Amino acid sequence: MNFVRIGEKPEISRLPLFRDMDDGKRERIFSGSFLQVFPPQLTLFAAGQQSDFLYVLVDGLVELYAVSAGRETTMRIVEPVTSFILAAVVTDMPFLMSARTLVSSRILLVPAALMREVIKQDAALMQATMQELAVGYRGLVRALTDMKLRQSAERLGNYLMEQGVRLGDPEAFELKGEKRVLASLLGMTPENLSRAFGVLRDHGVGVSGSRVTILDRDRLARFSRPDPVPPDPI
Amino acid sequence: MNFVRIGEKPEISRLPLFRDMDDGKRERIFSGSFLQVFPPQLTLFAAGQQSDFLYVLVDGLVELYAVSAGRETTMRIVEPVTSFILAAVVTDMPFLMSARTLVSSRILLVPAALMREVIKQDAALMQATMQELAVGYRGLVRALTDMKLRQSAERLGNYLMEQGVRLGDPEAFELKGEKRVLASLLGMTPENLSRAFGVLRDHGVGVSGSRVTILDRDRLARFSRPDPVPPDPI
DNA sequence: TCGATCAATTGATCTATATCAATCACTGCC
DNA sequence: GGCAGTGATTGATATAGATCAATTGATCGA
d(CA B153, CA B159): 10
**Domain interval for residue A117:** 2-146
Give yes or no for a contact between A97 and B141, defined as CB atoms under 8 angstroms apart.
Answer: yes
Average pLDDT over residues B2-22: 81
Contacts of A87 in chain B (CB under 8 A): 133-135, 137-138, 141
Across the interface, of A48, A87, A126, the residue whose CB is closest to B126 is A126
Does A110 map to a domain?
Answer: yes
A174-203 pLDDT, tens digit per residue, is 999 999 999 999 999 999 999 999 999 999
Burial class (CB in 10 A: 0-12, 13-18, 19+), A65: buried
B164-191 pLDDT, tens digit per residue, is 999 999 999 999 999 999 999 999 999 9
Same domain for A79 and A115?
Answer: yes
d(CA B160, CA B175): 9
Crossing angle (nearest 10°) for helices A152-166 and A190-201: 80
Same domain for A35 and A121?
Answer: yes
Contacts of B47 in chain A (CB under 8 A): 228-229
The sign of the torsion formed by the CA atoms of B6, B12, B17, B20 equals: positive
Same domain for B28 and B106?
Answer: yes
d(CA A90, CA B135): 9
A130-174 pLDDT, tens digit per residue, is 999 999 999 999 999 999 999 999 999 999 999 999 999 999 999
Burial class (CB in 10 A: 0-12, 13-18, 19+), B125: buried
Q: How many C-beta atoms surround the C-beta of residue A102 within 10 A?
A: 19
Q: Which protein residues have their Cβ less than 7 angstroms from some atom of strand C?
A: A 151-153, 187-189, 191-192, 209; B 178-180, 190-191, 193-195, 197-198, 207
Across the interface, of B97, B123, B141, the residue whose CB is closest to A96 is B141
Domain stop point among B108, B131, B146: B146
Give yes or no for a contact between A213 and A171, defined as CB atoms under 8 angstroms apart.
Answer: yes
What is the CATH number for A214? 1.10.10.10
Does A229 map to a domain?
Answer: no
d(CA A135, CA A208): 33
Strands B34-38 and B53-59, by their bridges, are unpaired
Nucleotide nearest to A190 (CA to C1'): D8
d(CA A118, CA B89): 25
Same domain for A121 and A179?
Answer: no
Contacts of B140 in chain A (CB under 8 A): 137, 140-141, 144
* Residue B50 pLDDT grade (very low, low, confident, very high; cuts 50, 70, 90): very high
Same domain for A26 and A99?
Answer: yes
Same domain for A12 and A126?
Answer: yes
Average pLDDT over residues A39-52: 96
Same domain for A119 and A90?
Answer: yes
pLDDT of amino acid A233 = 78
Does A129 map to a domain?
Answer: yes
**Residue A34's beta-bridge partner residues?**
A3, A109
Across the interface, of B48, B134, B148, the residue whose CB is closest to A229 is B48
Same domain for A140 and A56?
Answer: yes
CB pair distance less than 8 Å for A133 and B133: yes
A6 has a pLDDT exceeding 60: no
Average pLDDT over residues A82-91: 98
